[in-house]
């Protein structure tokens, strides 16, 4: 079984650098997909209230026979639950649905205002409660830009352990990654394969032929070489297995650079500067 390296977060907690993402995995497919992922060696699952499959993620982990402490699980606060009391209820509900008494990592999914005119800083202070009472081992954010992170830095006590942002070879996010590196915020690269859109790029295909790996493995390895945390999604058992087999080779610096040079600042998902939460 493949050994997946850990990354140490700024609070000392370890997170496996490769995980399994379940966005757009239908609830009825989730137990099978997560079970396959756990069988082939994944020990990190990325879900969210908005994905509608927390119950099934919890069920697959429970059925696996693994200890709760063997699997790193992240969930995220829904966009309609930013008001502090709503956030408390939503966090309780996520734990209940997963069947857990703690989460390894809990994130604000998007930097949005609260229902009554507050903003993500008041939401963040609510997540700090979950961290202090031990029910969230780490807390972090998703889709935060430097201006959002700067406000958390000056107006709150606990720094976010991670910023989960869209990153792929066509969207390398160098500026935001640089800001996070300076502030010891780990990067989680969401949609690491650009939802499949980067896999037929000629540069990536050529490197894949050269190193004897698939384009998906090359792209995932590129993220690993850059030090980011990734959790590709698939419901196909062969691909779930393929995506974890990236720790038996390295990409030379020139290949990492050639892939980084494909950047076009092109998003596949929503832009945090314009997204209103719907």
- As annotated, the active-site residues are 51
CB nearer to ligand NAD: pick between 95 and 105: 105
Eight-class DSSP state of 3: P
- The answer for residues whose C-beta is within 8 angstroms of residue 132's C-beta and 6 or more apart is none
Residue 21 within binding range of ligand NAD, rule CB under 6 A: yes
| 46 touches ligand NAD (CB under 6 A) | yes
Is residue 231 at the binding interface for ligand NAD, with CB under 6 A as the rule?
yes
CA distances from 86 to 80, 90, 93, 113, 199 (A): 8, 6, 10, 13, 40
Rounded to 10 degrees, the C-alpha dihedral 35/190/194/217 comes to -60
Does 221 engage in binding with ligand NAD (CB under 6 A)? no
Question: Is position 269 an interface residue for ligand NAD (rule: CB under 6 A)?
Answer: yes
**Binding of residue 190 to ligand NAD (CB under 6 A):** yes
CB of residue 273 vs ligand NAD: minimum separation in angstroms? 14
Residue closest to 15 by CA, chosen among 180, 250, 182, 227: 227
192 part of the interface to ligand NAD, by CB under 6 A = yes
Q: How far is the CB of 193 from ligand NAD (least distance, A)?
A: 3
CA proximity to 94, closest of 137, 132, 42, 58: 58
Kindly tell me which residue out of 9, 22, 98, 112 binds ligand NAD, with binding defined by CB under 6 A.
22
CA-to-CA distance for 278 and 276, rounded, in angstroms?
A: 6
Binding residues for ligand NAD, per CB under 6 A?
Answer: 21-24, 46, 109, 142-143, 164, 190-196, 199, 216, 231-234, 239, 242-243, 269
């Amino acid at each position: 079984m493949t050994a997946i390296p850990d990354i140490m977060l700024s609070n000392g907690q370890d997170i496996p650098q490769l995980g399994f993402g379940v966005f757009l995995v239908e609830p009825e497919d989730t137990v099978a997909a997560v079970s396959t992922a756990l069988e082939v060696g994944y020990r990190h699952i990325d879900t969210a209230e908005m994905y509608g499959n927390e119950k099934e993620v919890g069920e697959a982990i429970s059925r696996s026979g693994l200890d709760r402490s063997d699997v790193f699980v992240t969930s995220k606060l829904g966009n309609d639950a930013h008001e502090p009391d709503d956030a408390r209820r939503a966090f309780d509900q996520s734990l209940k649905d997963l069947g857990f008494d703690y989460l390894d990592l809990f994130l604000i999914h998007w930097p949005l205002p609260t229902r009554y005119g507050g903003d993500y800083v008041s939401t963040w202070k609510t997540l700090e409660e979950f961290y202090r009472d031990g029910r969230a081992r780490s807390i972090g954010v998703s889709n935060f830009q430097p201006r959002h992170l700067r406000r958390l830095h000056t107006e709150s006590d606990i720094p976010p352990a991670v910023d989960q942002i869209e990153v792929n070879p066509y969207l390398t996010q160098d500026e935001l990654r640089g800001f996070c590196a300076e502030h010891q915020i780990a990067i989680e690269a969401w949609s690491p394969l650009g939802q499949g859109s980067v896999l037929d790029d000629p540069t990536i295909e050529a490197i894949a032929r050269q190193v004897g790996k698939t384009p998906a493995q090359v792209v995932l390895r590129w993220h690993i070489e850059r030090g980011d945390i990734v959790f590709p999604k698939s419901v196909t058992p062969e691909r779930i297995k393929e995506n974890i087999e990236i720790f038996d080779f390295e990409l030379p610096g020139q290949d990492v650079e050639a892939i980084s040079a494909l950047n076009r600042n092109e998003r596949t998902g929503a832009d945090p500067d314009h997204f209103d939460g719907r």
